[in-house]
Amino acid sequence: MSDNSKVRTRFAPSPTGYLHLGSIRTALFCYLFAKSKSGQFVWRLEDTDQERFVSGAEAQMRQVFDWLGIAPDEGPEIGGEFGPYRQSERLKLYQRFAHELVDQGLAYYSDLNQAVIEEAKLKAKQDKRSFVFRGEDFDRQLGDNRANVPIRFRMSKVVGDTVTWKDSIRGEQTVNLSTIEDFILIKSDGYPTYNFANVIDDHLMQVSDVIRAEEFIASTPKHQLLYQSLGFAVPNFLHLPIVLGEDKKKLSKRSGASDLMLLKHQGYLPNAIVNYLALLGWNPGSTQEVFSLSQLVAAFNPKSLQVSPAIYNQERLDWFNTQHLRMLGMQELVEVFKPLIKDYFDPEWEASRNFLSNPDDIAYLERILTVEKDKITNPKQYIDKIYFLYRRPKFDQTVLDRFDLDKADFEVVVERLLAVLESNQDWEKGELINLVKGFIKSSGLSTKFVMMSLRASLTSQLGAMGIYDIMVLLGRQESLARLNQALEE
């Protein structure tokens, strides 16, 4: 039997879509909370909404946990003492507890048509009265057949006028009972509602701390009433601040920052994402910003969780990614880039070269990455910048326009540069600097013009890395070929 005083948190998503960053942050806080107290982190799948079920969502969740390293101690497929961890596999349990409440008069079967309730609601609105559904207000005789008849909680049996609970970061919360309807516990399809199954499972799974998104505050009074009626001990509650998108709107499963796997394919590191999400609404209480997951566990203190909304900010995520990329050794960095580069180039080209599977390709990638290792923020965008190191770009008039170079002047300078460079067999960086600088001096041309002409011929694009590094990486033969190509245009 497990120790009741132990901290146990749970992440209880519904598989109604893929997890977005806001939910992933909830999972992370549940994990950090539990691990910082040597407790357990439980993953439970709240799959009771058959209509909104998205197949593949559970597998995506598993991928997210694996990739970010926030491994649940218990959960679907993982197992554990309190399973099963999919609510759809626990239906009998909910039925049992619902029947207990019915037997005590605290719940009742109600086959009242939703349309009748909606009509009453509308009427109340027209009469400017408030309306809260209570079964007693409707005269109704239930037939003998209880199959497919929903079970509702009976509010009139609750003693008192208000329900009160304490949120760990928001303090005491009170709600008037007159605002709560006779809510459904078991639906007509025999499945429990979120409210009911959530309470039963948090109790049976011995959850000590319910940590979840702010949007569930509205459901908490109902949960409190269920805890009371079922005679269950009440866990601690902590509602995390909402995460808003850069547009200040709620992050949704569809919004830009939603897809973690997309971030993965752009070369964001799991550590950077974890670090960024942890600081989205939590303050470590020091000036330290860069943390590994284990450092976060050590530093985590729920008292420093903020209550006001947190705003997702891509630039800040990029900053964390840069910091974490810098901490990687060359081999690790190569491993980050390999799949991205493979993805980037078309599969045919890749296959014909057996691309990146041989030591020469790896050595070349290492040489590229060595040049600007500390400046890389977003690996995918970086590949855009260094594309020309893998493939010779097409050279045409548009390149000259982009560089604002006059065709005739450009051709003269490239021709003369070619002559200088061709005469030189040594292709080492220092030597190339001397050669080009010597050429600039003797020709009387401006440094900028010469550099731009070289860059246009070799890369066809503005920016990227230093021109001498580019020449060295391309090598003598390829650099000269590109200069010649620029003349042929």
Is residue 220 near ligand GLU by the rule CB under 6 A?
A: no
Among 20, 46, 82, 278, binds ligand GLU (CB under 6 A): 46
Is residue 13 near ligand GLU by the rule CB under 6 A?
A: yes
Tell me whether strands 184-186 and 151-153 are parallel, antiparallel or unpaired: antiparallel
CA–CA separation, 386 and 410 (whole Å): 23
For the chain, counts of helices (H) and of strands (E): 19, 11
Among 18, 196, 216, 282, binds ligand GLU (CB under 6 A): 216
CA–CA separation, 215 and 416 (whole Å): 69
Active site residue 187: no
Of 27 and 464, which has the nearer Cβ to ligand GLU? 27
Is residue 212 near ligand GLU by the rule CB under 6 A?
A: yes
CB of 310 to ligand GLU, least distance (A): 17
CB of 214 to ligand GLU, least distance (A): 11
Q: Which amino acid is at 298?
A: A
Between the alpha carbon of residue 207 and those of residues 95, 112, 216, 229, the distances in Å are 21, 35, 17, 18
Of the residues 187, 253, 338, 385, which is catalytic? Answer: 253
CA–CA separation, 179 and 225 (whole Å): 13
Is residue 201 near ligand GLU by the rule CB under 6 A?
A: no
CB of 117 to ligand GLU, least distance (A): 24
Is residue 194 near ligand GLU by the rule CB under 6 A?
A: yes
Tell me whether strands 162-167 and 209-213 are parallel, antiparallel or unpaired: unpaired
Of 13 and 75, which has the nearer Cβ to ligand GLU? 13
- Map residues 151-190 to x or -, x wherever contact with ligand GLU holds by CB under 6 A: ----------------------------------------
CB of 43 to ligand GLU, least distance (A): 11
CA–CA separation, 33 and 209 (whole Å): 9
Secondary structure element (H or E) that encloses residue 310, with its range: strand 310-311
From the list 6-14, 231-239, 249-257, 380-388, the region that binds ligand GLU by CB under 6 A is: 6-14
Bridge partners of 10?
42
CB of 150 to ligand GLU, least distance (A): 19
Is residue 209 near ligand GLU by the rule CB under 6 A?
A: no
Q: Which amino acid is at 459?
A: T
CA–CA separation, 363 and 447 (whole Å): 32
Secondary structure element (H or E) that encloses residue 133, with its range: none
Catalytic residues: 253
| Binding footprint of ligand GLU on the chain (CB under 6 A) | 12-14, 46, 194, 198, 212, 216
